[in-house]
Amino acid sequence: MNKKIAVTGIKPTGIPHIGNYFGAIKPALELTKEYDARYFIADYHALNSIKDPKLLQEMTYEVAATWLACGLNPKRSLVYRQSQVPETFDLTSILMAFTPKGLMNRAHAYKAKLAENEELKRDPDDGVNMGLFSYPVLMAADILLFDADVVPVGKDQAQHLEMTVDIAQSINHNYQKELLKIPQALIRKQTETVIGLDGRKMSKSYDNTIPLFLPTKKMRKLVMKIVTNSQTVEERKDPETCNIFALYKLFATPKEQEKMKIRYRAGGMGWGHAKQALFEKMEETISPIRKKYDEIISDKQYIDEILAAGSQKAREIAAEKIQSLKNELGLGTA
């Protein structure tokens, strides 16, 4: 029995942090247990905001090395670069013909840019390129080209998947047959929010992140900066309202979590002790991944070979889909 297909897009945005690892990378890699998992580096999406070629190339290597170090196995899963599968843009052009402009007007990213321009009293479309405006259509092509059954998304991407469904349904309705598979969102609520250093959601925009591959000493120094209350060592503490314990749970086993809860509630444990315990569990998990990352990122040829091989396989799948679709739309050869 063939597994259902899961498609995950990975945007090159620099070295990820702990929140990215637990909120996106780890759950996405776990898809291989149940699905035919396919992963692509969304470098064309990144081009909307990154115009420096050296930076874009370096970020592409970094994100590839990160996922490979975290456990992405190119022998078990398809991994490729979006820009190396031109059939994606064949499908994008087809989808454009069925996408109302009004639908794009409602996209969150575009509306946020308009709101920002209004607040700063700038022209409404200042800084808006067509890549940003039509971002949801390219995303739809990424998904529909590979007949995805499910797409893991966060809340910020859920709307784009809804748009993908709208566009696909429009085409299927027009031709009275299912030319494009209708995907479903896969939202993992248990790891949606990872607490940052200040107690808010871990985010680069809040400057409260713990970078995933930070060297040991720097990581410990950062962990020691986690915000706590003013309780003394002797006082009993509530683990359920503690930023340190919220992070500790991500790394510790259920048994280790219960032991730590007992220490919290017994009193006699200071915040420094709790932070040290968190750091040790983090280092236990991250150290081997960091070592693997350092090995991979130092061998760019290895990364190129993996992405080239994966992209070739992706092209073969995509070419078959595009040819079939063109025949149905009257774009194929007689």
Please spell the DSSP secondary structure of 176-193, one letter per residue: TS--S---EEE--GGGS-
Q: Which of residues 189 and 172 earns the better pLDDT score? A: 172
Q: Chain-wide mean pLDDT for the chain?
A: 93
Calculate mean pLDDT across residues 76-87: 96
DSSP run (H or E) holding 88 = helix 87-96
Share above pLDDT 70 across residues of the chain, in percent, rounded to a whole number? 98
Decide if 194 contacts 243 (C-beta within 8 A): no
Question: What pLDDT shows up at residue 188?
Answer: 64
Question: What pLDDT shows up at residue 291?
Answer: 96
Decide if 41 contacts 70 (C-beta within 8 A): no
pLDDT in tens, 132-158: 999 999 999 999 999 999 998 877 778
Residue 296 has pLDDT above 70, yes or no: yes
Distance (Å, whole) CA 88 – CA 150: 18
Judged by DSSP in three states, 5 sits in strand
Phi, psi (rounded to 5 degrees) for 201 = -60, 135
Long-range contact list for 166-174, CB < 8 A, 24+ apart?
Answer: 166/103, 167/95, 167/98, 167/99, 167/103, 167/137, 167/140, 168/140, 168/144, 170/98, 170/99, 171/94, 171/95, 171/98, 174/98
The CA-CA-CA angle for residues 193, 9, 178, to 5°, reads 115
Decide if 61 contacts 303 (C-beta within 8 A): yes
- Band (pLDDT 50/70/90 cuts) for residue 23 is confident
Question: What pLDDT shows up at residue 153?
Answer: 82
Q: What's the number of CA atoms in the CB half-sphere (13 Å) around residue 131?
A: 11
- Band (pLDDT 50/70/90 cuts) for residue 166 is very high
Question: What pLDDT shows up at residue 131?
Answer: 92
pLDDT in tens, 48-72: 989 999 999 999 999 999 999 999 9
Decide if 76 contacts 310 (C-beta within 8 A): no
Residue 189 has pLDDT above 90, yes or no: no
- Band (pLDDT 50/70/90 cuts) for residue 187 is confident
Q: Enumerate residues 6+ apart whose C-beta is below 8 A from 182.
A: 165, 168, 169, 172
Question: What pLDDT shows up at residue 14?
Answer: 80
DSSP run (H or E) holding 152 = strand 150-152
Distance (Å, whole) CA 19 – CA 163: 26
- Band (pLDDT 50/70/90 cuts) for residue 13 is confident
Residue 191 has pLDDT above 60, yes or no: no
Decide if 31 contacts 152 (C-beta within 8 A): yes
Phi, psi (rounded to 5 degrees) for 88 = -60, -35
- Band (pLDDT 50/70/90 cuts) for residue 2 is confident
Residue whose C-alpha is closest to residue 241's, from 257, 226, 223, 228: 228
Question: What pLDDT shows up at residue 157?
Answer: 75
Residue whose C-alpha is closest to residue 67's, from 34, 45, 37: 37
Residue whose C-alpha is closest to residue 39's, from 132, 152, 137: 152
